[in-house]
Amino acid sequence: MEILLVGTNDEIAFEWVSKYWYYRNLRIARNIKKSTLPESKRAVILYGGGHTYLLKQMLKDDESIKVIQYGDWSE
């Protein structure tokens, strides 16, 4: 558990990494929204599995975007 010793008492390394991960996913979601034009019917966007949960949460309220995972349509 040496990772807990990195950083100061106010902000340990794990806290910084988790904030950055959330921020990174916010930027990805924003870029997805900006890059899909209103007249676009389909877009393929590939990201690693670690991003899936947060991106689905961030994009679920946008009715113009439907998130489908690979396994949901490939069968």
Distance CA 53, CA 39 (A): 26
Q: Is 2 exposed, middle or buried (0-12, 13-18, 19+ CB in 10 A)?
A: exposed
Residue 12 has pLDDT above 80, yes or no: no
Average pLDDT over residues 48-68: 88
CA neighbor of 54 nearest in space, from 30, 22, 7 = 22
Per-residue pLDDT averaged across 8-22, rounded? 76
pLDDT bracket for residue 29 (50, 70, 90)? very high
DSSP one-letter code for 61: T
